[in-house]
Amino acid sequence: MRPPILRRLLRRVAPVAVCGLLAVLGARPAPAVGAPAAPAATGLQQVTGFGSNPGGLQMFAYTPDGVPAGAPLVVALHGCTQSASAYFTGSGWSKYADLWGFDVVFPQTTPANNALSCFGWFDPAESTRGRGEAASVVQMVEYAKQTYGSDGRRVYVTGLSAGGGMTADLLAAYPDVFAGGSVASGLPAQCATSQAAASGCQTGPQKLSPAQWGDKVRGSYPGWTGPWPRVAIWQGTSDRTVSPANATALRDQWTDVWGIGQTPSGTGSLPGGTTRSVYEDASGRSAVETFSVSGMGHGLPVNPGSGADQCGATGAYFLNTVCSAYHTGVFWGLDRDAPGGGSGLPAPTGLKVTGVTDSGASLAWDAVTGAASYTVYRDGAEVATTPSASFTDTGLTAGTSYRYSVAAADSSGAAGAGSSAVTATTTGGTAPARCFTATNYAHVTAGRAHTSGGHAYANGSGQDMGLYNVFVTHTLRESPAGHFVIADSGCQAGSS
């Protein structure tokens, strides 16, 4: 009979496949079991006594000087073999905490939780409401609200790989705590509820319908009817550790929860070969967004540099493609979400798209008393100042989605709080879809599909194409660039 402590340790040591980072550990040695956590990065402080801590996690926090009470809070969960310090340094969240004014909590696992410091996304004793590590994370949020004055209406959670799987579980179990989330190279909520099932989720989740995936969220907090968190999903098309099919399952899961379809309202291109797809709710507000990074493997997208949309540091599982922290923060509204803004003027209300062409978008909003002008932001960057409560943006790309927000400015030009964002999609101009008929082997070789577990999966859609060999043939339709769907029944395009 094993001693109880040993039994608990063995139960929580996942097989190599449990965490997305584990399959590539041959590239660098795993940390020694029982080794102390890495020293905290400058500015990152450990917090003790934040609660009963049923999951045995450690809490680290980054609280920039000058952040007022009532600011948002971001919770950032590292991947396996990583630490809070590594995630603080590599992810880029500290840059935007300084720039936009919010606090960040970095929960940390230890070898006492899991031999490779993975969050227990696959274990109901750790990932469900009121239990284990999930409950410890929520206690950290409560501590931040009470100690830093964080706004409980604007709490967000993000994570990589096993941290991404736990992020999805937290969003499902605590929709009353988190206003939004971002899952990077992660898993759908409650994809696995046992250690044995975890590796199957990674290599390709169950083939469930959107409603079945959505039921896993609804069942995590029975009786909750909304509002639901707004969810960003980041995935590399060449991830061989966590199958891109998980991004499709995540999209299906959260669009179903929101009661919207799985066809995007619009798509657009971002740096690093990234395709952003927007799924809007009934009011036209973006509820779910997917970010597919062409050719990227397993890790968190970062893009070191001094530009407004650049962040992070490259390293193991921090991949130089695009700054996911920036685009996630813009999606959540953190870029213009500071209470009162620089001028103290309130956020404009009633922002709406009044018209679009193939090269422009027209906006209008309710006037703000005391405003001398209005600052208009496109995808988080300032594009214009206008004296009136309307604006037409020009020089845009046809068939592309753009996200807009506005802020009222005083006579000195200082902008106040930003409005809620709206998405405008320009008309026309989309390149015709292309069709490719070939064997699964040829599709993978040409970069239109990838392999996992002996099957081929279409890049972008993640659809299962069957066995990876030269005996199975499919037609794939590409639209937009880099996004392929099976079109065996017919493909209307200029064929290749």
pLDDT of residue 343: 53
| Known catalytic membership, residue 405 | no
pLDDT of residue 347: 80
Q: Is the dihedral of CA 242, 458, 282, 421 positive or negative?
A: positive
User: Which distant-in-sequence residues (6+ apart) come within 8 Å of 223 by Cβ?
Assistant: none
- Among candidate residues 161, 294, 343, 405, the one labeled active-site is 161
Q: Is residue 210 helix, strand or coil?
A: helix
pLDDT of residue 360: 93
H helix or E strand, kind and range, residue 164: helix 162-173
Give the C-alpha separation, 217 to 191, whole Å: 10
pLDDT of residue 405: 85
Cβ atoms of 292 and 62 closer than 8 Å: no
Q: 95 phi and psi, to 5 degrees?
A: -60, -45
Tens digit of pLDDT for each residue in 180-207? 999 999 999 999 998 889 989 998 888 8
HSE-up (13 A, CA, CB side) for residue 98: 9
Give the C-alpha separation, 233 to 244, whole Å: 11
**Which regions of the chain are under pLDDT 50?**
1-41, 338-341, 494-496
Give the C-alpha separation, 253 to 102, whole Å: 29
| Both structure tokens of 106 | 């970095």
Measured from the Cβ of residue 357, the count of other Cβ atoms closer than 10 Å reads 14
HSE-up (13 A, CA, CB side) for residue 236: 24
pLDDT of residue 1: 31
